[in-house]
């Protein structure tokens, strides 16, 4: 995953354009993608697909021709969606188009102007401080024209048509944690699920933030009832502890599953309530759709100094952190996939487990007593209204133990889904 982050890092991504396509081309080497191109001007809910932005070169050069700021060195150096410009101007005039971080003088900020025609450069404060007064050549070789918004999907077929969506944004330029770590984790999660036979169908959405998710929702509104659960992945690779942000509902099944998995694993973590600000969970959870979609990250957006700066580079994310995020996703979806409601087929009194060989089957298990209790709990709560997660939470037993007990009782025809 870390190598995938490094491969994608140099590309200049935005909400549209060839940088998004190039990123999806790389992801497509790992999992097959269906790529969608939505034309400029398409109405998507309350929004309109904007013009497509592409950039070839940009720089600020001093009187000697030396490039003081060079897009070729980092895609962060240009204000996202900058309109074309070719001019010579004094530093006093240029300053109004320059963005820096005085509190972190060696870092370059990430700034955009998607829906207001503007141009600008982002640079280190120490670079600006070293620029003497004088004339500077300014050039942004970009195009803003009718084109397309690009997003992609990868679908892992399940035993049922009901879907779990996994969404990540592909619109940020050279930012490793806020963008690419989530893309990498989603990619490898898709590969892992493909090797299994999941119960749910898993749909992975690789789309630009906000406008991309809105476009996906607009194009899938008629089949949105198939989406039963969802997870947005972002900031998935920094060294902070895990953070889960609940869906708007607050008690959606995905919320309970993530809370259970994180608590049972004894990982340091934080559970946060939903707020209508953040990543694309706010689009999926908007009241008209009200999907059960939460967001998993490590340190949340804007929660670390390197956020939206050049310091969010591949060295800022760690393979170990991404592996841990991936492991939690796999654990959570394993619970989600096995979380069923059962009905006790012998509900009058406790059925005799011994003559069915259920106690004997536990003889060699180190957790035989726990497994026996799990059977009794499943039988007690198998009334068609309780899920296995309900059983695990109420009994205090591990979900895997409860699910294994349910499997044994089902095989003995004592319960049915």
Task: Say if residue 172 carries a ligand binding annotation.
Answer: yes
Residue whose pair of structure tokens reads 């990498």 in the numeric block: 184
Q: Cα separation of 73 and 59, whole Å? A: 10
- Residue intervals of the chain classified under CATH 3.40.630.10 are 2-50+148-338
* Among 306, 304, 301, CA closest to 277: 301
- Does domain 2-50+148-338 match CATH 3.40.190.180? no
Please give the C-alpha separations between residue 345 and each of 319, 374, 394, in angstroms, as whole numbers: 48, 17, 21
> What would you measure as the largest C-alpha separation in the chain, in angstroms?
94
Q: Please enumerate in sequence order all residues whose Cβ is within 8 A of that of 2, keeping only pairs 6 or more positions apart, or say none.
A: 184, 237, 314, 317, 318, 319, 322
Separation CA 373–CA 378 (nearest Å): 9
Domain span(s) for CATH 1.10.10.10 in the chain: 341-416
User: 155 burial class (0-12, 13-18, 19+ CB within 10 angstroms)?
Assistant: middle
211 to each of 105, 169, 170, 288, 349, how far by Cα in Å? Answer: 32, 10, 11, 17, 57
Q: Does the pTM of the predicted model rise above 0.75?
A: yes
Residues 6+ apart with CB under 8 A from 159: 197, 198, 199, 200
- Say if residues 5 and 318 touch (Cβ distance below 8 Å): no
- What's the pLDDT at 172? 97
pLDDT of residue 357: 84
Tell me the C-alpha distance between 288 and 251, whole Å. 18
C-beta of residue 201 within 8 angstroms of C-beta of residue 338: no
What mean pLDDT is predicted for residues 10-28?
A: 98
The confidence score (pLDDT) of residue 358 equals 86
Q: What angle do CA 116, 120, 125 make, to 5 degrees?
A: 135
Residue range 289-318, pLDDT digits in tens:
999 999 999 999 999 999 999 999 999 999
Topology (CATH level 3) of domain 341-416: Arc Repressor Mutant, subunit A (1.10.10)
Average pLDDT over residues 119-142: 98
In 52-187 the beta strands, taken as DSSP E runs, fall at 52-61, 67-70, 85-90, 98-99, 121-122, 135-145, 148-156, 163-169
pLDDT tens string 246-272: 999 999 999 999 999 999 999 999 999
pLDDT attached to residue 361: 61
Q: Which of 258, 266, 210, 191 is nearest to 231 (CA)?
A: 258
pLDDT at residue 366 above 70?
Answer: no
- Residue 197 pLDDT > 60, yes or no? yes
Q: Once rounded to an integer, what is the mean pLDDT over residues 44-56? A: 98
What's the pLDDT tens digit per position in 379-404? 999 999 999 999 999 999 999 999 99
**CATH H-level superfamily of 52-145:** Domain of unknown function DUF2172 (3.50.30.90)
Query: Residues, the chain, total?
Result: 417
Nearest to 55 by CA among 143, 148, 183: 143
The average confidence (pLDDT) of the chain is 96
pLDDT for res 354: 84
Band of residue 362 on the pLDDT scale cut at 50, 70, 90: low
pLDDT at residue 368, rounded to an integer: 77
- Residue pLDDT, tens place only, 325-360: 999 999 999 999 999 999 999 999 999 888 888 876
Residue with tokens 């962060």: 76
Query: What is the chain's percent helix, strand, coil content, to nearest 5?
Result: 35, 25, 40
Mean pLDDT value across residues 161-182? 97
State the pLDDT at residue 25.
98
Q: Which residues have C-beta within 8 Å of that of residue 270, sequence separation ≥ 6?
A: 241, 242, 243, 244
> Residue 308, annotated ligand binder?
yes
CA geometry: angle 33, 35, 40, nearest 5 deg: 165
Closest CA to 150 of 50, 67, 271, 83: 50
Average pLDDT value for residue range 18-47: 98
Phi, psi at residue 142, to the nearest 5°?
-130, 165
Instruction: Specify the domain boundaries for CATH 3.50.30.90 within the chain.
Output: 52-145
pLDDT at residue 232, as a whole number: 98
CB 235 within 8 A of CB 181: yes
> In angstroms, rounded to a whole number, what is the distance separating the alpha carbons of residues 212 and 278?
15
**pLDDT class of 363 with cuts at 50, 70, 90:** low
- Nearest alpha-carbon partner for 376 in 363, 385, 366, 354: 354
Asked if the model's pLDDT at residue 365 lies above 60, the reply is no
Check whether 97 is labelled as a binding-site residue: no
């Amino acid at each position: 995953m870390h190598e995938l982050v490094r491969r994608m890092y140099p590309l200049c991504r935005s909400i549209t354009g060839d940088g998004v396509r190039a990123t999806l081309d790389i992801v497509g080497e790992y999992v097959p993608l269906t790529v969608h191109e939505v034309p400029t001007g398409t109405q998507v809910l309350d929004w309109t697909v904007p013009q497509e932005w592409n950039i070839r070169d940009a720089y600020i050069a001093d009187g000697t021709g030396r490039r003081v700021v060079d897009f070729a060195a980092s895609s962060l150096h240009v204000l996202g969606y900058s309109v074309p410009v070719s001019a010579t101007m004094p530093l006093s005039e240029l300053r109004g188009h320059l963005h820096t971080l005085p509190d972190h003088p060696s870092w370059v900020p990430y700034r955009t102007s998607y829906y207001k025609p503007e141009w600008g450069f982002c640079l280190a404060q120490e670079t600006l401080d070293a620029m003497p007064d004088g004339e500077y050549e300014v050039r942004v070789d970009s195009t803003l024209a009718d084109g397309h918004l690009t997003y992609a999907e990868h679908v892992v077929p399940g035993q049922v048509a009901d879907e779990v969506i996994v969404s990540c944004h592909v619109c940020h330029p050279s930012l490793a944690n806020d963008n690419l770590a989530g893309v990498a984790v989603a990619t490898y999660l898709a590969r892992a699920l493909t090797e299994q036979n999941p119960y749910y169908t898993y749909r992975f959405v690789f789309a630009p933030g906000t406008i991309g998710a809105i476009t996906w929702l607009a194009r899938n509104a008629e089949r949105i009832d198939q989406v039963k659960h969802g997870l947005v992945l972002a900031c998935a690779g920094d060294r902070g502890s895990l953070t889960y942000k609940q869906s708007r509902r607050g008690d959606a099944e995905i919320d309970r599953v993530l809370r259970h998995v994180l608590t049972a694993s004894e990982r340091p973590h934080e559970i946060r309530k939903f707020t209508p600000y953040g990543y694309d969970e706010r689009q999926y959870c908007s009241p008209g759709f009200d999907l059960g979609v939460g967001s998993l990250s490590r340190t949340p957006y804007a929660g670390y100094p390197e956020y939206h700066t050049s310091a969010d580079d591949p060295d800022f994310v760690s393979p170990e952190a991404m592996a841990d995020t991936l492991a939690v996703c796999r654990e959570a979806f394993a619970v989600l996939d096995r979380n069923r409601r059962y009905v006790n087929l012998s509900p009058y009194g406790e059925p005799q487990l011994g003559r069915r060989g259920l106690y004997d089957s536990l003889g060699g298990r180190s957790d035989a007593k726990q497994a026996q209790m799990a059977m009794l709990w499943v039988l007690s709560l198998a009334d068609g209204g309780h899920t296995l997660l309900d059983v695990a939470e109420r009994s205090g037993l591990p979900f895997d133990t409860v699910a294994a007990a349910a499997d044994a009782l089902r095989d003995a025809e004592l319960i049915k889904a």
